[in-house]
């Protein structure tokens, strides 16, 4: 499944690389990004607790039935409502949370969820790389914003730490709003490199790197399924 999802995006991106005319190349790039955004939306869900506005979640690969979101989206609740892109609403128990890392995992029957995302190599991210964020800002499902990687490391600004904790973050110049929390941050090929968590300094988005999400999920005690 993972390979087939990557192949779906490649033709559009390859077309962009192969086009010679400026207008044709730009149109191909637009089409490629639109295709990437569409499959990201398919694997992104809305997460709500107690009927109030919540955030987003990601159908995670290699962990059948697992949706990853932010701990602050869930709060102290033991269950959450998960709404898929096709409008189905499912009740899911919270099976793990880490408030310090701002991560939470929800469990559902694997067959009830859309296809999972494909993971990228967050360790290879470089400043200036194009990234996309998908979520439900202000309750609008599947909204997309585009920006570039700022850096990867502790959340620091010119006057010191931006937040009270010192883990590694993917920092990107991407516009986020309430409802983006827990949604995917992906590279230009649609491979997820982080889980969007917060905005600092009014504009800089922080996302938990995908490799740290894998460490978080390893504590569930179930082996990662083969890709």
Q: How far apart are CA 61 and CA 52, in angstroms?
A: 28
Interacting residues of 71 by C-beta distance below 8 A, sequence separation 6+:
97, 98, 99, 101, 102, 103, 104
Catalytic residue among 102, 136, 145, 187: 102
State the pLDDT at residue 142: 81
Q: How far apart are CA 47 and CA 55, in angstroms?
A: 5
The residue whose two tokens read 């790389």 is: 129
The pLDDT averaged over each successive group of 10 residues in the chain (227 residues) is 44 46 74 88 93 87 95 94 94 95 94 94 92 86 89 60 64 89 94 94 88 94 66
Q: Report the chain's C-alpha Rg in angstroms.
A: 17
Are the beta carbons of 53 and 179 closer than 8 angstroms?
Answer: yes
Catalytic residue among 19, 72, 98, 151: 72
* Domain parsing of the chain, residue ranges: 118-213
State the pLDDT at residue 4: 44
Q: Which of 116, 115, 114, 118 is nearest to 191 (CA)?
A: 118
State the pLDDT at residue 139: 77
SS3 for 140-163 is: CCCEEEEEEEEEEEECEECCEECC
Q: Known catalytic residue: 187?
A: no
State the pLDDT at residue 31: 83
pTM of the model: 0.83
Q: Known catalytic residue: 24?
A: no
Q: Known catalytic residue: 102?
A: yes
118-213 CATH pick, 1.20.1090.10, 3.40.50.2300, 2.40.10.10, 1.25.40.10: 2.40.10.10
Catalytic residue among 43, 150, 181, 187: 181
């Amino acid at each position: 499944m993972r390979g087939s999802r990557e192949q779906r995006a490649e033709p559009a991106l390859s077309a962009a690389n192969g086009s010679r005319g400026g207008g044709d190349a730009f149109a191909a790039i637009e089409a490629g990004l639109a295709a990437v955004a569409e499959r990201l939306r398919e694997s992104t869900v809305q997460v709500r607790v107690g009927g109030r506005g919540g955030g987003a979640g990601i159908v995670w690969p290699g962990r059948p039935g697992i949706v990853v979101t932010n701990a602050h989206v869930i709060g102290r609740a033991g269950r959450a409502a998960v709404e898929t892109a096709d409008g189905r609403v499912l009740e899911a128990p919270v099976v793990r949370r880490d408030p310090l890392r701002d991560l939470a995992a929800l469990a559902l029957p694997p067959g009830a969820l859309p296809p999972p995302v494909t993971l990228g190599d967050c360790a290879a991210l470089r400043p200036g790389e194009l990234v996309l964020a998908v979520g439900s800002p202000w309750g609008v499902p599947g909204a997309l914003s585009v920006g570039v990687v700022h850096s990867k490391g502790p959340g620091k600004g010119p006057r010191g730490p931006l937040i009270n904790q010192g883990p590694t973050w993917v920092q990107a110049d991407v516009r986020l709003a309430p409802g983006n929390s827990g949604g995917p941050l992906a590279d230009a090929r649609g491979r997820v490199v982080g889980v969007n968590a917060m905005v600092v300094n009014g504009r800089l988005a922080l996302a938990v790197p995908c490799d740290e999400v894998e460490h978080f999920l390893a504590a569930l005690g179930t082996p990662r399924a083969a890709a």
